[in-house]
Copies of this chain bind each other. A is one copy, B any other.
C-alpha cells in the first residue's frame, strides 16, 4: 500500500527502509514508539531500532521526552538548502505579499515536478481561515490551478510528456477525469491566460493561477490565489487574474527575466 514506483530498478534495501521510516514519521502527526514503527513497516524490532538510532545520530529523527520518535530538524536544514537553489522563492515573496494584500485571499507559489505540483510558499491574509495546504506538500497537476497554469504554457512536447504520467485521481465530483477533458481545459486556459480550479481539488475551494515565465518564456513556477467559492466568485476572476498577472510580471522582473525585449509578448502578459 506504499508508493508505487515500480520501474525503479536500482535498490538499496537499507535506504528504502530508512526512508519508509521517515515517511511513516512524517505521515503520523504524533510521535511514534519503536514498537509502532516496527509493526507498521513490518520490520523486526532490532532492525527498526538500529535504523532509528542511526537516523537519530544524523538528526533525521529525534526523540521526545517520553522516548518516542519524530522527524528531526536536520531535515528542516536539508529542506531549506534544497529550495535555496531556487532563489525564486525569496524573490517572489514580496510580490506574493502584495498580491495577498490586494486580494485578501491566500496565495501559493508552486513548482512542477513530474506530474505533481509542489507548493514552495504560501502567504495567508491576516484574518482568514487557515488553509490546509502545507508548504512542501504536493498535489497532482490535473486538479490544481497552478498545475494547469504551468501545463498550459509549456511547449507541446514537454506537456505531452507530463500528460502521459497523469493518473487522474478523483478528488471531488468536479475533478477532471479524462485526458481529453484535461486537454480541452488546457487549451481554454491558454487562450484565457489564466487557469481556474473550480472545486476540482477540494469541495468549496476555488483557485486561480498564472505561470511565472522565465527568460525563454517557459513556465518555471506558478502563482495562485485560493479562497472559498463564495468569496472567489466567477465575477471576481478577471480582476483577481489581473492582480496575478501584475504579480508574476514583478517576479519575472526581479528574477532578471527581461520582458523578452521587443514585440511579440506572450498571451499571458499581453
**Residue ranges of A at the interface with B (Cβ–Cβ < 8 Å):** 5, 8, 10-12, 14-16, 18-19, 22, 26, 29, 50-51, 53-55, 57-60, 62, 70-73, 75-85, 94, 111, 113, 118, 120, 126, 134-138
Contact = CB atoms under 8 A, between A and B. Distances in A.
A99 to B, nearest CB: 15
Contact of A73 (B5, B50, B53, B111): B111
A70 B57 contact: no
Contacts of A12: 14, 18, 50-51, 54
A76 B79 contact: yes
Given A58-B19, A73-B118, A80 B14 contact: no
A165 to B, nearest CB: 14
What is the count of identical protomers in the complex?
2
22 contacts: A10-B50, A10-B57, A12-B50, A12-B51, A14-B15, A15-B15, A15-B55, A19-B58, A26-B82, A62-B113, A72-B82, A73-B118, A73-B120, A75-B79, A76-B80, A76-B118, A76-B120, A76-B136, A77-B79, A80-B136, A81-B134, A81-B136
Nearest to A70: B85
Contact of A18 (B15, B29, B77, B81): B15
A51 to B, nearest CB: 7
Given A14-B14, A81-B136, A84-B134, A8 B76 contact: no
List 9 A-B pairs, minimum CB-CB distance, nearest first.
Answer: A79-B79, A80-B136, A71-B82, A10-B53, A14-B14, A77-B136, A76-B79, A8-B57, A75-B78
A138 to B, nearest CB: 7
B85 A81 contact: no
A54 B15 CA distance: 8
A21 to B, nearest CB: 10
Contacts of A78: 22, 26, 71, 75, 78-79, 136
Contact of A94 (B53, B82, B126): B126
Max count, chain B CB within 10 A of own CB: residue among A50, A80, A83, A135: A80
Contact of A57 (B5, B55, B113): B5
Given A8-B54, A76-B79, A94-B126, 13 more contacts: A12-B14, A14-B15, A15-B55, A19-B58, A72-B82, A73-B83, A73-B118, A73-B120, A75-B75, A75-B81, A76-B83, A78-B79, A80-B135
A38 to B, nearest CB: 15
Contacts of A8: 53-54, 57
Contacts of A75: 75, 78-79, 81-82
